[in-house]
Structure 1
Amino acid sequence: MTKTIRAADAVARRLFAAGCRMAFGMPGGEVLTMVDALEAAGIRFILCKHENAAAFMAEGAWHRTGAPAVLVATVGPGVLNGVNAVANALQDRVPLIVLAGAVDANEAQTYTHQVLDQRAVFAPITKATFLLDAGAAHIIPDKAVGIATEGQPGPVFIDIPIRVADAQVPATTPTPRAVAANVVPDTATLEQVAAWLSQAARPVILAGVDALNDGADVAGLAQRFVVPVITTYKAKGMLPEDDPLSLGGAGLSPLADKTLLPFVQSADLVLCLGYDPIEMRTGWRDVWDSTSQRVVEVTAVPNHHYMHQSTVNIVGSVRATVAALMQAATPRNTWTGGEVATAKAALAASFPADEDWGPAAIVATCRSALPRDTLATADSGAHRILLSQMWQCYAPRALMQSSALCTMGCAVPLAMGAALASPERTVVSFSGDAGFLMVAGELATAKELNLRCIFVVFVDASLALIELKQRQRQLGNHGVDFGTHDFAAIGRAFGGAGIDVRSRAGLQAALSAAQKADTFTVIAAHIEKGAYDGKI
């Protein structure tokens, strides 16, 4: 057995041990050793066309595998191209490991080309940054994996100087760190919360990303104790949304909030299970008075956001706390006046699916035409708000999106990463035309990887959400409209299929063809300007 390995091999082997089987990026001379080490360790390097898209592909794969996402980028402009996606990983709680090429320290003293303080750039948008050192080549990636995945997941940045990557280090790894035990509330607190749940006649669950990432049995708790569930957009599907207790997602829709906020305010117990308000609009700030309404919060980290307060604040494992609560509390009849069914009907009426043509018709047609276990992704824009309210999810992570940073240009690469990790599933992405144009070059990657994703583009030649806000403020139309482009032709130009649709029947036919195609399909769904008015 080899007694020494390269420092880059130590990094790669630790990532492999964490479950990583894919890394995404764009190589440069400074990361060639790292790419070679990843491949040698059994981690496939996926060549992308832009580092920002590469990070979102890595995130898409993480949603399917649970292994940390890996971005590889070269020095200077390469890694800086990934800043947006790294910031997204911090806000959207994604365990992203960034492996960045760096010039050797001695070289940087007299050589300035592409040299800058990369760790200083990434420090505010990561959980931690490291400079790889040969003497700590095993320790640093181990720390990076732990920091990225524990508590609230997030990105960790590792600068890897050229000579350090090639340096020989012992092959034997240090003694591993013990896995941290799950933390549950103390007996008195658990008994108090269990008593409140046992007594509650109108309890409601708000489930968020911490519950999702911790694998909490929200559905089991809801169904055992007959508690309706509202999720953030990211946590959609933790209770199947065709369940009578599901009130769907909440986050950015004033229209949905007309039903959801009064419902929450009428509850006599609010269980915030991993509920992170970073996904929510300002209308969800201080929507209850925790001095007069019982509110229990269970989160991975302390409440430093102050967007709401709680009566009982538990910092620990959402999964373990939910499991303990299910054993400690006693079920009773709840919401006996039919309030849950009334709220569910009101939400359905707020987002009707029966229009002849328009964005709601597109969402409804795609949901009915595609398999129940379809994986969907959504870009930011007016269509995402509508989609997040209308698109039913029947399992966790069935709809992936940037719902904290809310960046554009994420849906296409998220779908590609998910498709790579789950090739047996139908994968569809929903983008506005502007967001699609930001990442259209990655269609080349989709072709090279033989992906069969369906890319639905809402074509209205406008930044629809911003144009709507412009009109609401009675401002002139400036900087929000652009040309109508041939998106179907763009799909065909990159080797995929491309179809224009302007009706439900046309969309239905396009979706049928896309599911049979041996390549990706771009479906350009043309709608009128202003089509979202009154719908979100």
Structure 2
Amino acid sequence: MRHDPIAAAAVIGTAEEAEVTGADIVAARLAAAGATHAFGIPGGEVLALIDALERAGIRFLLAKHENAAGFMAEGLWHMTGALPVLVATLGPGVANAVNAVANASQDRVPLLFITGCVDQALAESYTHQVFDHQAVLQPLVKASFRAAPGTEDLVVAKAITLARRGRPGPVHIDLPISVAEGSVPRRAPPPLPSLGPAVPADLAEACRLVARAGKPLVIAGLDLVKEDGSAALERFIARTGAPLLTTYKAKGLLPETDPRVIGGVGLSPKADAIVRPLVEAADLIVLAGYDPIEMRQGWRNPWPADKPVIDIVAEALPHGMHASTLLLEGDVDIALSRLADALPAERSAWPGGEPARVRARFREAFAPLPAWGPHAVFETLRAVAPAGTVATADSGAHRILLSQMWDCDGPLQLLQSTGLCTMGCALPLATGAALGSGRPVLCFVGDAGLEMVLGELATLRDLRLPVVIVALVDESLGLIALKQRQMGLGRVGVDFGSTDFAAVAQAMGGHGVTIADRKTLERETIAAFAREGFTLLACRIDAAQYEGAF
């Protein structure tokens, strides 16, 4: 059904003599705010809402698990900016979604999580599937509301505003059955509060620090991605001559073929060791939307306390991971643009040429290897994938190496969970991205992560989405096994049996093939991108090849 916010808003128009349900009010407000899809699993307590969503032009999509549904909503939001909506019924539906809500909090996703619940009076004596949703979710969301009769539109408007304001994040709405199904007069919705840009108050000191820096360094993170700050970042880099490091989430803010881009850092000890001398030599570090939530423990206090550091953040968040000289709170892209404007002209920096040498060492460290293995898989796929391909990566050893090898020529071309680093995210992220992007979508996942979400292959089948899934099959939790070896511990709880993923894909309505060499991978990938349905390429590798790779 085509989404039409104006038509949706008319559901709660001005004809006072007619009535609609509370669910209609909620659905119309979501549609007017830009929601195009909602994801979840129906239950009796949310049936009125799901019906209202469809009539408001918001397509409800059935997933096989609420956790996956949350990641589908995120994937769609990354591609289209549509308000992400997750719907769950009471009790187990809410509990199943907790991981996706926690991920939305740590990865800055403005997820609207709407749950059905029984009326308060009934809950006093009826306990089947009943627990306090708000108490469970409170540590994970920016706010939690319980709608009451007559407050439906107000609650949703507040939730949308909070979800998008400052650092985006999830907001929860508990919708009692009587509120969703009850009749209310039609009424025109009040406008959403303005979300004008938050401009840092005083940039004078920041301008002085930037103007006198001869070796500036920029580290960009996920808050700049959410503001689509590529243009502002490019202007600032050009004016200052600073090289760029990014977190994994911020890969592609500038094309990684750009010689000013060193690479992604944060989870690879090898990468971090290579860039450490650059961090030490810099006489000014500008943190552009950088949040250390994406970084491993090695990024605690990565520079001395007296290093000049400008920390530009969407919203101040005490974390204790590093010190800064100057904190600027507000829209990161506006701050970067104004700092760039304050400089007289583009200038050269780093007269000793250190960034170029570090970039060369970085590239050499993660160069493809000739033997078959994860390096060969990533190199082959990068060469074959069409221009503009959106890739997703699950958590595990493969993600760390992939994030070093996979070049992005634009933002949001490698989607992953970087704050929570949760397994099982890549396939549903790819599903949501394929719904909204109109671009080729490639999903990288380990065999353990894939087995967590095998049911979502049926979701791909039902939605007829041509996602190409690349499973790295090594029959182990490779990253955990690697950590066990490094700690001198026994190998326990990391090995599992073999699954015929090609057969599973065929049984679930897709195409599947097992692969163990470059030539076959290249041929099958080309065919997969031309296929209408989903394809699963099960690439058998040896987990030992990750040793020393990152």
Whether 1:433 aligns to 2:447 is yes
Deviation at 1:510, TM superposition (A): 1.2
Match of 1:461 in 2: 475
Matches within 5 A, 1:4-403: 4-186=19-201, 189-216=202-229, 217-291=232-306, 293-330=307-344, 331-403=346-418
Matches within 5 A, 1:404-419: 404-419=419-434
Q: Percent identity?
A: 50
Q: Distance in 2 between matches of 1:410 and 1:220?
A: 34
- SS at structure 2 position matched to 1:356: coil
In the alignment, structure 1 segments of 5+ residues that lack a partner are: none
- AA matched with 1:109: E
Mapped contact 1:195–1:329 kept (Cα < 8 A): no
C-alpha change, 1:162 and 1:385, in structure 2 (3 Å) is same
In the alignment, structure 2 segments of 5+ residues that lack a partner are: 1-13
- SS at structure 2 position matched to 1:309: coil
Measured against aligned partners, the alpha-carbon deviations of 1:116-143 in whole angstroms (never above 9, x if no partner) come to 1111111111111111112211100001
Deviates more, 1:523-532 or 1:326-335: 326-335
Q: Distance in 1 between matches of 2:456 and 2:253?
A: 31
Mapped contact 1:206–1:272 kept (Cα < 8 A): yes
Measured against aligned partners, the alpha-carbon deviations of 1:317-340 in whole angstroms (never above 9, x if no partner) come to 112111211211233211222212
Measured against aligned partners, the alpha-carbon deviations of 1:171-221 in whole angstroms (never above 9, x if no partner) come to 3245324414323333xx412222322222111111111111122221222
Deviates more, 1:31-40 or 1:191-200: 191-200
Mapped contact 2:165–2:195 kept (Cα < 8 A): no
Match of 1:474 in 2: 488
Q: Distance in 1 between matches of 2:282 and 2:161?
A: 38
Deviation at 1:223, TM superposition (A): 2.6
- SS at structure 1 position matched to 2:138: helix
- SS at structure 1 position matched to 2:20: strand
Deviation at 1:504, TM superposition (A): 1.0
Measured against aligned partners, the alpha-carbon deviations of 1:385-440 in whole angstroms (never above 9, x if no partner) come to 01111111111111110111110000000000000111x21100100100000001
Q: Distance in 1 between matches of 2:111 and 2:317?
A: 23
Length-normalised TM-score, structure 1: 0.97
Mapped contact 1:134–1:168 kept (Cα < 8 A): no
Question: Which of 516, 522, 526 does residue 502 from structure 1 map onto?
Answer: 516
Mapped contact 1:491–1:522 kept (Cα < 8 A): yes
Whether 1:526 aligns to 2:526 is no
Q: Distance in 1 between matches of 2:62 and 2:15?
A: 30
Q: Distance in 2 between matches of 1:178 and 1:69?
A: 19
Question: Which of 461, 479, 502 does residue 447 from structure 1 map onto?
Answer: 461
RMSD: 1.3
Q: Distance in 2 between matches of 1:384 and 1:487?
A: 20
Mapped contact 1:379–1:410 kept (Cα < 8 A): yes
- AA matched with 1:470: Q
Deviates more, 1:174-183 or 1:43-52: 174-183
Q: Distance in 2 between matches of 1:22 and 1:171?
A: 23
Question: Which of 417, 421, 436 does residue 436 from structure 2 map onto?
Answer: 421
Measured against aligned partners, the alpha-carbon deviations of 1:505-532 in whole angstroms (never above 9, x if no partner) come to 1111111110111110000000013120
Q: Distance in 2 between matches of 1:178 and 1:9?
A: 21
Mapped contact 2:15–2:187 kept (Cα < 8 A): no
- SS at structure 1 position matched to 2:368: coil
Mapped contact 2:397–2:479 kept (Cα < 8 A): yes
Length-normalised TM-score, structure 2: 0.95
- SS at structure 1 position matched to 2:337: helix
Q: Distance in 2 between matches of 1:284 and 1:19?
A: 37
Q: Distance in 1 between matches of 2:317 and 2:451?
A: 38
Deviates more, 1:330-339 or 1:227-236: 330-339
Q: Which runs of 4+ in 1 moved over 6 A?
A: none
Deviation at 1:146, TM superposition (A): 0.7
C-alpha change, 1:496 and 1:174, in structure 2 (3 Å) is closer
Matches within 5 A, 1:480-495: 480-495=494-509
Q: Distance in 2 between matches of 1:2 and 1:49?
A: 40
Mapped contact 2:391–2:414 kept (Cα < 8 A): yes
Deviates more, 1:92-101 or 1:351-360: 351-360
Deviation at 1:346, TM superposition (A): 0.5
Mapped contact 2:239–2:347 kept (Cα < 8 A): no
